[in-house]
Homo-oligomer: A and B are copies of this chain.
Amino acid sequence: VESKSDQSLLELMSEFHYADIAEIIDELNLEEGTYLIKLLDTERTSDVLTELDEDKREQILERLSAREIAEEIGELDTDDAADIIAELPEERVREIISQIDDRQHARDIVELLRYDEDTAGGLMAKELVKVRESWNVLTCVKEMRRQAENVTRVHSIYVVDDEDKLKGRLSLKDLLTTSTKTQISEVYIPKVDYVRVEDKAEEVARVMSKYDLEAVPVIDEIGRLVGRITIDDVVDVIKEEAEKDYQLAAGITQEVEADDSVWQLTKARLPWLVLGLLGGLGAVFIMEGFEEVMSNPNYRSLFFYTPLIAAMAGNVGVQSSAIIVQGLANDAVKGSLLQRLIKEVSLSLINGGALALLVIAFGFLINQPLEVSATIALSMLAVIVVAALIGTFVPIILDKRGIDPAIATGPFITTSNDIFGIFLFFYIAKVILGF
């Protein structure tokens, strides 16, 4: 690729979509990537920049001058522009902003930088088409034509009052079929879905996907229209949200990718492993208390079953918590706590009962005394019921307290259920077998 005949390279690149060019640059080394970025014309590079891997982008931006970056982000919609420079040091940002020729664009970007990236404010763009209710259709069409120049794709026309407060939206059809003298206030649709600038990104995603919206207006604390969010930005939120829950369930604390450095991967994985280790060491403590049992040849086989008990407690806990966490995320957990309690108990009695029969059958197979097999089966059943209850109710309680229930999946639930399960197992066995 890098035999450096600029002209042929440019021709080749002109065939590609900017997302593909971004992928190519992600693969190249830093010099080659920067070289290519500088080679392409601004309009295309700016799009390529939005698609690049974050780390790569940061490195390439370091090698561009403030003026060059200002030119790139001058081409972008305000939301993408703000996302790109949000990662840079504050001083650099100021320098870049001061180099942007379009002052309104620069002011808009500065405004967007103020918002937390996980909120509606962080997702929105300033580019939108808005008209005042006091205008007539003719003024409105003129103004729209002017505004539409800065907007890549017009999703909706929003109607505001003289204080910029969102009043409703305008259908293009109505606009074109009414007389040019008609006042907007007579034709606009006063019902419009909106989100607030401080709403969480997940909430925006939920609203947009529930109501099948392609774009949604954003209002500030006092109802003024300040921006709009389009569905493509929300698709990324939905994907990230799903990946985050998945990673929490898998015991990874922060967003990592397969290609991150060993050090980043260690930081993401070690904490949960230490938690698991502490759980395991807790189990060692509990079993030490029952060491005497090892001297009894009839009962010492109990120790062979500890990994089985731990695995069952963990698996059942993860299953229950995953279903609840997903249900909470989709707003699909209904009914009273008592109903849920009855359901989980009956569910785990059915599952546990079936598994208990298998354990007893296995006991016959290896000529284990029936009383031992029955004890193991019974305590396993108890462990499964308790594990299911923990898996169900810990996420519900966390959610009620406003904590992300997804942290109670994966290693967290496995570890606590491991300790609890093994304790319960030996304690029940002790009561039944009387050692």
- Write the residues of chain A forming the contact surface with B, with a CB cutoff of 8 angstroms: 17, 19, 27, 153, 193, 209-212, 214, 231-232, 234-236, 238-239, 242-243, 245-247, 249-252, 256-259, 262, 265-266, 269-270, 272-274, 276-277, 279-281, 283-285, 287-288, 291, 294, 300-301, 303-312, 314-316, 318-319, 321-324, 326-327, 330, 332-335, 343, 346-347, 350-351, 354-355, 358-359, 362, 366, 409-411, 414-415, 418, 422
Q: How far is the CA of A306 from the CA of B209 in the complex (A)?
A: 46
Contact between chains at A247 and B322 (CB < 8 Å): yes
Q: How far is the CA of A239 from the CA of B242 in the complex (A)?
A: 8
Q: How far is the CA of A277 from the CA of B362 in the complex (A)?
A: 11
The residue of chain B having its C-beta at the shortest distance from the C-beta of A352 within the complex is B273
- The 3 tightest CB contacts between A and B, nearest first, are A280-B308, A242-B242, A258-B327
With a cutoff of 8 Å between Cβ atoms, the chain B residues found around residue A258 in the complex are 323-324, 326-327, 332-333
Contact between chains at A307 and B310 (CB < 8 Å): yes
* Central interface residue in A252, A269, A283, A346, by most chain B CB within 10 Å: A269
Number of copies: 2
The residue of chain B having its C-beta at the shortest distance from the C-beta of A312 within the complex is B276
Contact between chains at A326 and B247 (CB < 8 Å): yes
With a cutoff of 8 Å between Cβ atoms, the chain B residues found around residue A323 in the complex are 250, 252, 256-258, 265
Contact between chains at B333 and A277 (CB < 8 Å): no
With a cutoff of 8 Å between Cβ atoms, the chain B residues found around residue A269 in the complex are 316, 319, 347, 351
Given A252-B322, A259-B335, A308-B283, A351 contacting B315 (CB threshold 8 A): no
Contact of A307 among B280, B294, B350, B354 (CB under 8 A): B280
Contact between chains at B214 and A322 (CB < 8 Å): no
Contact of A312 among B273, B335, B346, B351 (CB under 8 A): B273
